[in-house]
Amino acid sequence: MVANDHWNLELGLTGPGTLAEDAQNTIHRVRHLALANGWQNQLRTEAGPNFQVLRTWRFRAPLGGVEVDFLPHAGGSLGYFFTDLRLGGQWRIGWNLPEDFGWAIINDLTPGSGGNPRSVSGEPGPPPRRGIQALLGVEGRFVVHNLFISGNLLSDSHGLSPKRVGGDFNIGVVYTGRHWDIALVQTIRAKEYDGQPEVDSFGSLTLGRRF
C-alpha cells in the first residue's frame, strides 16, 4: 500500500468581474447565434480563497494477465466557494497501470493524472509504460456550503436550497503513454438542490502532456 496527499489553495472570483458574460456572448456573435439569456441573474462580483486537501491510498494486485487497483480517498474543502467532506474510491483494471493515484474528473480535488508518482526516497518515479485501463469510481459528499447553489455570502443574489448529501458515479477508459495521456469519463451526479428535476450526467475528454 502507498499513499498520496494533495493540498491545494485556490483564489477565485464570481460575478460580472469574471467577464464570463462577455466571453460567452462573443463566441455567440462569432458563430452568429442568439445572445445568451439570464446573465442579469448571475452572482455578484466577490472574491475569496478555497483550501482543499485529499489523501488517496493505492492497493494493487495482479489478476490473470492484468492488474487491478483499489484507490480509496478521503478529504474535503474549506473556503468561500465550497465547504464539504468527501469519501470515495476508484477501481481500475488494465494493462501496465501507472504508478499514480487514479484519474480525476471535472470538479475533483486532484489533478487529472491523480498525482505524480514518487519513489520511496521522494524522487520522481520511473516513466510510465504504455497501457490502457477501465475505471469505475464513486464518491459521497456532505455539503456544508456551495456558493454556486446557495448564492453570494456578502451580498444579495439568487440562490437555492442545497442538498446536504450528494455524490458522483464515474465510468471511463484511459490510455496512458510515456508522455501523453487521454481519458474519456462519463459522470452521473446526484441532485444538488431541492427541486432539481433530475440528476446531472456529463462526459469529459481529457488530453494530458507529462513533462
For the chain, what are the domain ranges? 2-209
Class of domain 2-209: mainly beta
Q: In Å, what is the CA distance from 69 to each residue of 66, 95, 134, 179?
A: 10, 11, 11, 22
Spell out the per-residue pLDDT of the chain, length 211, in tens.
Answer: 899 898 999 999 999 999 999 999 999 999 999 998 889 889 999 999 999 999 999 999 988 889 999 999 999 999 999 999 999 999 999 999 988 888 877 666 555 555 444 444 455 556 667 899 999 999 999 999 999 999 998 888 888 999 999 999 999 999 988 888 999 999 999 999 999 999 999 999 988 887 7
Q: Structure pTM?
A: 0.82
C-alpha to C-alpha distance for 191 and 100, rounded to whole angstroms: 30
Partnered with residue 71 across adjacent β-strands are 90
At CA 153, angle to CA 107 and CA 158, rounded to 5? 80
Q: Cα(47)–Cα(79) distance, rounded to whole angstroms?
A: 11
Residues 6+ apart with CB under 8 A from 199: 188, 189, 190, 191
Render pLDDT for 177-197 as a digit per residue (tens, 0 to 9).
Answer: 888 899 999 999 999 999 999
C-alpha closest to that of 168 among 116, 207, 204, 115: 204
Own/partner pairs, 201-207, CB within 8 angstroms, 24+ separation: 202/106, 204/105, 204/106, 206/103, 206/112, 206/181, 206/182, 207/180, 207/181, 207/182
